[in-house]
Structure 1
Amino acid sequence: MFAKKTISIEIGTATTKVVIGKSRKNNINIEQVWKIPTPVDTFDDGEIVNLNVMIETLDKFLDENKIKLKEVVFTLQSTKAITREIIIPYVKKEEDLTQMVQLEIEQYLPIRLEDYIIEYRILEELITEESKNLVILIVALPKNIVEGYLNLTEVLKLKPISLDINATAVTKFSPEELVKNNENTDLDKTVALLDCGYEYLNLTIIENGIMRFTRLLNYGGKDIDMSLANVFNLSLQEAEERKLEYADLTDTVFVNDSQNMVNENIKTSIDTWIQEIQKVFRFYSSRKVGNKIDEIYLYGGSSNIPGMPEYLDKMMNIPTFKINKVHNVNLDNLPGEIVVGDYLNAIASLKGR
């Protein structure tokens, strides 16, 4: 799909990730990656709310790094994005399928079609002796969000190729391509991908290699920072620095009382995450007899807290791992080692489907 070098950008509330690479025959070659601070009050819940500042920031970044490439893909997450799985009778013609999807949306989703950009893809065919159906994944994104990205690329004189949402971007990788502890999983397992971001926890469930469920939880690294700031009378920047310096969720007991107090505070925040994650898991399990989560894969900035996988494993009694590699993604051209999970959404957006 992206045989030429392409820029992939994930704008987040706190950090913007930029990746340059190209995809060919299911292989992705990554040549450069960057993290840059997202300017305050320019981005909210997937929407570029201060276009001029974002244009200025990315224009300066592209210029300083001498990036002349024009083709760009974006990925985002937003509580305003709607994803639904529907089942419809099998149809062969594309126009018939599009018409049926639109009818389903009008009937079951509380939205005005003219206010959204809607895409869909076939997840699988369900064939029995009695019927033949299609399982369809629908993604709807408000037009005003899409228009913000189009305006951004137009002013920067870039060529927009695609706009993903993180949950569907990362599922372009099958679970067996995601490597944890230098081991593969297999398609027979049901895995939960947990993107531990600054603003949100993005939870996606993949069952037998097929995306079945996604939820965006309003918790993330910011909650840890805010809690530390309130308890220890710190600014948010000081709280983040304290978190990065002291955070350790292993069973180690430290001589330094301050470090122990910080860790206990962090655990309290993460315990709240766990309660919300377990609610989602219970809902998923209630949808069908036999539904259960076999493994959890972590990625994103907050997954880098030491001991995070082990802590979630212990508290939820589900094997939990941090993604440390992706098959078919070549990072050899990068000047140093990177934490692949920090850039996973942007990398996934380079992959064709």
Structure 2
Amino acid sequence: MLRRLWDRPSPIGLDIGTCTIKAIQLDSGRNEVLELAEVDVPRLPNDPQVAESIIAQCIQDLLKRRRFWGRRVALALGFDEITVQSIRVSPLPGKNIGDVVLEEARSRTNLELNDVEIRFLPAGIVQQGELQRQEMVLIVAKRTAIERKLRIAQQARVIPVAIDAEPLALVRAAGRQYRRQSDQNQTMMFVHIGSRATLVVTVRNERLLFAKYFSLGGREFDLTLARQFHIPEDSARALRRSYGDRRVAQRDPEVVATVQDTLRPVWNRWLEELSRCFRYCNVTFRGEPAEKIVLSGGEAAPELQDVVSRFFEIPVDLLDCFRGIKCTSRIVDSAVWDIALGLALHSGRAQRESRDTVSVEEPSGAPT
């Protein structure tokens, strides 16, 4: 199908996760899903080169099966590929704020600046004692991780127009869905729950206030059940999924009670980590407390929504990624498409001069 240049669709948002790879492409106005698909990723070997080849083959197979337009993709760096933290700096007379942030980053990361890409976003002015300081969200990406994504893209014969950071993709996807004025005036905490880790971002008026990963996710839930019932991890995951996906009236009360009792200690550890993020934001940004929590990612489910709601006693939603975006496909678990959607919403233009995204120009001689 031929398209005019100005009708060119979005880049394909390619979310390479631990268990699945998801791909979404939107129309030029970013208002309609043109195509979406996902594929399971097999258990990867320890050999990095072989693992990269398997992922690249999965991407090729995925794109061949569906009618995606072109080969331009936006990729993301995630939990073990970037470091995200909040820092505070004081502007110095005659010194660029970027240089001040880089000096602070050098002292905190213990990494050579030549080995990383650093981006930062101003979160706002905060009070620290009698001083006012600038709060920054610092994102440090390992060059080795960027190079790995580029190698996978080359093997998959796709053209990476952007290598984004997961927190920014999540903010972009969430911001697309919460656009009403009442939403803009709220401080909202978005929680992406993946297999190995949980990502927390706090946003107000489309401004990123806070971002953090902590290493608790669905796999820890599965391992907890596996140890308790002496079953393989895959069986534990199937048990957790099967009882949770059934309608309430169809659930066996004894199974529900046993699974929930087993999971409660790990849920409590997860909630305590989430609570630390919640308290930090409420103390740092006084007068702008979080008023809503929104869950997304592969582990977002009504059961966990209920657990979080009872713990925090504020409204808790599941992210509906396709609210306000036309999608002809029937999507059962909309919340799992958050990162892929955020990547598809990327402009697709190189932004090396910007400090809010890690981007790359389209390489010369790239496959078409």
Give the structure-1-normalised TM-score. 0.80
Deviation at 1:272, TM superposition (A): 2.2
Residue type at the aligned position of 1:340:
S
Structure 2: unaligned runs, 5 residues or longer: 1-5, 127-131, 348-368
Say whether the 8 Å CA contact 1:177–1:184 is kept in structure 2: no
Say whether the 8 Å CA contact 1:195–1:298 is kept in structure 2: yes
Deviation at 1:260, TM superposition (A): 2.4
Moved more, 170-179 or 256-265: 170-179
Say whether the 8 Å CA contact 1:16–1:38 is kept in structure 2: yes
SS state at 1:50 partner: helix
Structure 1 residues 319 and 64, CA, compared in 2 at 3 Å: closer, same or farther? closer
Deviation at 1:175, TM superposition (A): 4.7
Cα shift readout 1:115-159 (whole Å, capped 9, x = no counterpart): 112234566799xxxxx9987544220000000111111222221
* Alpha-carbon distance in structure 2 between the residues aligned to 1:174 and 1:34: 20
CA RMSD of aligned residues (A): 3.7
Deviation at 1:222, TM superposition (A): 1.0
289, 294, 316: which one pairs with 1:292?
Answer: 289
Structure 1 residues 109 and 317, CA, compared in 2 at 3 Å: closer, same or farther? same
Verify: 1:269 aligned to 2:266, yes or no.
Answer: yes
Say whether the 8 Å CA contact 2:188–2:204 is kept in structure 1: yes
* Alpha-carbon distance in structure 1 between the residues aligned to 2:92 and 2:32: 37
Give matches, 1:1-353, under 5 Å: 3-24=8-29, 27-41=30-44, 50-65=51-66, 67=68, 69-83=70-84, 84=86, 89=91, 101-106=101-106, 109-121=109-121, 137-173=137-173, 175=175, 177-178=177-178, 185-247=182-244, 256-290=253-287, 292-304=289-301, 306-325=302-321, 328-331=324-327, 334-352=328-346
1:129 corresponds to? none
| Structure richer in strand, relative to its length | 1
Moved more, 217-226 or 203-212: 203-212
* Alpha-carbon distance in structure 2 between the residues aligned to 1:153 and 1:335: 27
Residue type at the aligned position of 2:83:
I
* Alpha-carbon distance in structure 1 between the residues aligned to 2:111 and 2:213: 19
Deviation at 1:63, TM superposition (A): 3.2
Say whether the 8 Å CA contact 2:15–2:339 is kept in structure 1: yes
* Alpha-carbon distance in structure 2 between the residues aligned to 1:176 and 1:336: 20
* Alpha-carbon distance in structure 2 between the residues aligned to 1:138 and 1:301: 26
Say whether the 8 Å CA contact 2:25–2:68 is kept in structure 1: no
Deviation at 1:348, TM superposition (A): 0.9
Deviation at 1:309, TM superposition (A): 1.8
Residue type at the aligned position of 2:190:
L
Deviation at 1:258, TM superposition (A): 2.8
Give the number of equivalent residue pairs.
337
Say whether the 8 Å CA contact 2:13–2:73 is kept in structure 1: yes
* Alpha-carbon distance in structure 1 between the residues aligned to 2:181 and 2:224: 36
Say whether the 8 Å CA contact 1:249–1:263 is kept in structure 2: no
Structure 1 residues 347 and 66, CA, compared in 2 at 3 Å: closer, same or farther? closer
Residue type at the aligned position of 1:238:
S
2:362 corresponds to? none
Structure 1 residues 339 and 255, CA, compared in 2 at 3 Å: closer, same or farther? closer
Cα shift readout 1:241-280 (whole Å, capped 9, x = no counterpart): 1111213899989654233212322344322211221122
Moved more, 134-143 or 163-172: 134-143
Moved more, 151-160 or 317-326: 317-326
Structure 1: unaligned runs, 5 residues or longer: 127-131
Give the structure-2-normalised TM-score. 0.77
Residue type at the aligned position of 2:318:
K
* Alpha-carbon distance in structure 2 between the residues aligned to 1:222 and 1:2: 41
Cα shift readout 1:296-352 (whole Å, capped 9, x = no counterpart): 001112112x33322211122222111225555332xx3323432111111111224
